């Protein structure tokens, strides 16, 4: 993931390598410092570059590391949704004790996630501008609310492609530094 705006994060890149049997590896490249740094597992709950996203919020969610249950149905943004509660399995390290996801019934897209620490909602991520890209439905705008701070950050996906052949060497620290 490479950020293009605003100016204070332009050129910042995040490399996340997911693993089935353990936590993902994360590195961040900061061009102003010409430096990369590994994001330690215990730092995944910290805010990403001054935004309201945490490093954990930006990584791919491995569905096998959570337990799920149907918590009802509701309408959100004029769309009929399932409410699904998820809790991390014991082996999963997470800052959240549970999450409540709203999933559209018509296209199975997650349009909102409320993340909880114990019984308190600490972060809400709302997805909008839902479009089909390369045959896959995706929310191209994400707005995250940090409930503790009362602040929000909007992330817009401007360039997005799926199922593009990529080389293994594109997912290295050297490639991260090259931009």
Q: What is the pLDDT of residue 92?
A: 65
| Of 176 and 82, the one with more pLDDT | 82
| Of 134 and 4, the one with more pLDDT | 134
Cβ-based neighbour number of residue 4 at 10 Å: 12
- What is the pTM assigned to this prediction? 0.78
Give the 3-state secondary structure of residue 8.
helix
Q: How confident is the model at residue 44 (pLDDT cuts 50, 70, 90)?
A: low
Domains and CATH numbers, the chain: 7-178 (2.50.20.10)
Q: How confident is the model at residue 57 (pLDDT cuts 50, 70, 90)?
A: confident
Residues with Cβ within 8 Å of 34's Cβ and at least 6 positions away in sequence, in order, are none
């Amino acid at each position: 993931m490479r950020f293009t705006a605003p100016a204070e994060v332009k050129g910042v890149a995040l490399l996340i390598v997911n693993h089935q049997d353990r936590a993902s590896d994360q590195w961040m490249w900061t061009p102003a410092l010409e430096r990369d740094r590994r994001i330690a597992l215990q730092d995944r709950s910290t805010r990403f570059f001054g935004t309201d996203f945490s490093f954990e919020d930006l990584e791919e969610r491995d569905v096998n590391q959570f337990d799920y249950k149907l918590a009802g149905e509701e309408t959100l943004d004029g769309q009929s949704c399932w409410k699904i509660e998820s809790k991390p399995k014991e082996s999963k390290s997470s800052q959240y004790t549970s999450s409540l996801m709203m999933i559209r019934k018509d296209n199975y897209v997650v349009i909102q996630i409320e993340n909880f620490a114990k019984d308190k909602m600490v972060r809400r991520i709302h997805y909008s501008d839902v479009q089909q890209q390369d045959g896959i439905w995706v929310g191209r705008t994400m707005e995250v609310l940090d409930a503790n701070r009362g602040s929000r950050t909007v992330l817009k996906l401007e360039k997005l492609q799926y199922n593009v052949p990529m080389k293994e060497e594109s997912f290295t620290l050297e490639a991260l530094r090259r931009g």
